A and B are shown apart, each in its own frame.
Chain A
Amino acid sequence: AQKVTQAQTEISVVEKEDVTLDCVYETRDTTYYLFWYKQPPSGELVFLIRRNSFDEQNEISGRYSWNFQKSTSSFNFTITASQVVDSAVYFCALILLTGANSKLTFGKGITLSVRP
């Protein structure tokens, strides 16, 4: 069975601070996808990034960056120079790449509050 742990439950920062959201996962499979989703107050889960278990390259997209380390089973997300619009709940998730099980396993989510 798969498991995703987001140990931080709530983080509060002041605008322009950098913030890192942690994600640790467990799976016995070697092929899987990892995801980060953002959930603003409206409720919709917005897809941010997908990482293949074979690809440990870090990724940067504007103010967002992701650090994937298989050795520690972690997939951390950093927001640089945070903005008020970044306030949301952020979920890390895992799905096995192949097989009949299409269930996304989510962490409990991290509530990020960015104060002006």
Chain B
Amino acid sequence: KAGVTQTPRYLIKTRGQQVTLSCSPISGHRSVSWYQQTPGQGLQFLFEYFSETQRNKGNFPGRFSGRQFSNSRSEMNVSTLELGDSALYLCASSHKRTSEYQETQYFGPGTRLLVL
């Protein structure tokens, strides 16, 4: 089975721009979660989508949004980029049968975003 894939792998943007990151989960996985990793804050949960619905959201401003499609692929959007948004954005998928029971999250290679 192919693993979680993320595109693009690297991205350079300037302040004020917006960006869209894409994540394709492992085949059959219906849950996709997004995490931000920075040297200062470590790994922080952004949000989770299950069956096209956002189930959980971390403590991030509204500039961070996402969606999930019927094929479970997910996109994350950050509007009005700030320097502090420079980070590694990791996507994870899991084979949850329902939204209430957790399973192992498998991570993709991440998208490195640099905001200048």
Contacts and interface: CB of A to CB of B under 8 A. Distances in A.
A108 B42 contact: yes
A103 B107 contact: no
Given A43-B112, A44-B108, A103-B56, A98 B88 contact: no
30 contacts: A33-B102, A33-B104, A42-B109, A43-B88, A43-B112, A44-B107, A44-B109, A44-B110, A47-B104, A47-B105, A50-B104, A91-B43, A95-B105, A97-B101, A98-B101, A99-B100, A100-B100, A102-B31, A102-B33, A102-B48, A102-B50, A102-B56, A102-B94, A103-B33, A103-B56, A103-B58, A104-B92, A105-B45, A106-B42, A107-B42
B88 A104 contact: no
Given A44-B108, A47-B107, A100 B101 contact: no
B4 to A, nearest CB: 9
Contacts, number: 66
Given A44-B110, A103-B48, A103-B58, 12 more contacts: A35-B104, A46-B107, A47-B104, A47-B107, A96-B102, A98-B102, A100-B55, A100-B100, A101-B56, A102-B31, A105-B45, A109-B43
Interface of B: 31, 33, 35, 42-43, 45, 48, 50, 55-56, 58, 88, 90, 92, 94, 96, 99-102, 104-110, 112
